Each structure stands twice: as C-alpha cells, then as structure tokens.
Amino acid sequence: MTPAQCRAARALLDWSQQHLAEVSKIGNATIRNFEGGKSTPQHATLDVLRRALEAAGVEFINGTGVKLRS
C-alpha cells in the first residue's frame, strides 16, 4: 500500500486519520507520517492498516488504486 492509496481509501470511507488510527490500533502519528511521505512503517504495520481498510469495504486494485467493493 502506498501513501496515496491510504489517503484515497480513507477518502472513500470518509475516515479521518484519527478514525483509521482508532480502528487499526496504529498510532495517529504513524499514519500521518506515512501518508505525508515522512516515513515508511514496518511491513506488519502496513498489513494492519490495509486489513482495517479492506474490512471497511475498500478494495486495492493491482497495487495502483483503490475502490469500494461492490
């Protein structure tokens, strides 16, 4: 998952960074720094974020985009 995909997925769900942090139990600063391009979280952290977004209905498209599951 790229920072742009994370931002786009949150936008589709109308989620704030804080809401994603609460749902995923990942620190808000970690999400903010990732989306802002300041750091890359560990692979396991990205997996947790991705699973939280997928559980809410986001589908990741071939590593390039996102959409809501139909």
End-to-end distance of the chain based on CA atoms, in angstroms?
A: 20
How do residues 22-66 score in pLDDT, each as one tens digit?
999 999 999 999 999 999 999 999 999 999 999 999 999 987 899
> 35 φ, ψ to 5°?
-65, -30
Going by pLDDT thresholds of 50, 70 and 90, the confidence category of residue 20 is very high
Say yes or no: domain 3-68 is CATH 3.40.50.920: no
Q: Which residue shows structure tokens 């720094």? A: 33
Which residues lie closer than 8 Å to 55 by C-beta, 6 or more apart? none
Helix (H), strand (E) at residue 65: strand 65-68
| C-alpha 14, offset from chain centre | 12
